[in-house]
Structure 1
Amino acid sequence: MNSGELFPRPAAEIAPGAVHVPGWLSAERQRALLDACRDWARPPAGLRTVRTPGGGTMSARQVCLGRHWYPYGYADTVVDGDGAPVKPFPAWLGDLARQGVADAYGNGPCTAAYDIALVNFYDGDARMGMHRDSDERADDPVVSLSIGDTCVFRFGNTHARGRPWTDVPLHSGDLFVFGGASRLAYHGVPRVDAGTAPAWLALRGRLNVTLRVSGFPEEGA
């Protein structure tokens, strides 16, 4: 847990199965994850602009680990970019995801086989529209880690992109886990508060590392 806050924010269940744990990543872990993200962002299969089927582009840029996500599916190579093989998903990220689930839910160890990471970089003008993480074949919880600038994370319902929703400020080091009844809830980022990252991170913008279980069979299985 990050003990650097003057007034610690309590963990909160935002919806059934959706839990916000403020300050979960220590400063040391945030720095280590930031360094890893900078390595992953380098080509080949590095940070890219995601293009939608309708011809638009997402304002948040992305790099994938384990399997490459594109609208709306997964591949082993960057099919909408340089065509390079996707970067591997490190075992320590899976351990981090399982620890996040265990800490958020508090109901014992998590054994889910996390194998995918989507790393989104937001500058001060980037946004993310309301969407569902529904391209996986598994229903294990999604684990979201925030580094850098604070954002407004809009967590909605499972039926439509509109209300009801809850706006949750996500600060650097925060953990957000959503599974169970909320696994397919719509969510998005309507605002990033530029310049709010901790000075010791030396980061302009926000990184969101989203960890998932694909449910796809391993190659050769």
Structure 2
Amino acid sequence: MAYQMHAIDIDDAFREQGDSLFNTFYNVHHQTGPGKDAMRFWIPTRFGEGHLDLRKLADATFSLGTTRFNRDVNLSDNVASSIFSIRINTGADASFRIDNTAFSVASQTTSLRYFQQGANYQRQFSRNEKVGDLAFTFTEEQFHQYLESLEHPELSRAVDRADYFQLFCQAKIDAKQRYLIAKLTNNPYKGALEKLYFDSVAGELLIAALGSLGVDNNSAATA
């Protein structure tokens, strides 16, 4: 029988470290001044093993997570604020529900998603399933500013019509993105040079991911 893991379970575990996971994500995401701009959370051992890293990158929030659950898990959460997210799925095929609509994202793909404030997100994880996810998250205003730099009128119009939840497009991770992900996850520096290296490589990866969004405009959704 699947274990029901809600946001409060994760919050309780991480409150021992001084912050809750979801509150910290939104604090990092909306932060504009000096302060904590990099956080790491370890998945509680009662759920499995893995961690989630959060970092600021210009106007976006970068997240990198690797997880393997030790049981079947159903995770649910309500979206706290409207966001656009460019997500690179390096793990297994992923299926999730937004209220009563089911979506699927293939393994080894880059996708663009829109989550409206208040949407209920539910995802099932199988025991020993490898979950690998790298994402760039933006507020609506921030993402529109990035999109203005791309010559992609069809995507721009689709983004303007975004409502509640949208899975705009999926494209296979290309060789350039794989190369940059490998560089990003094997940072050879520490201290100030570590941040400089991260900002440079992550920025290049973001540009590469943005450039791939028009490759495949097929989304997988079933009522």
User: Going by fraction, where is strand more abundant, 1 or 2?
Assistant: 2
Q: Sort the TM-score into its range (normalised by shorter chain).
A: 0.3 to 0.5
- How high is the TM-score relative to the length of structure 1? 0.36
- How high is the TM-score relative to the length of structure 2? 0.36
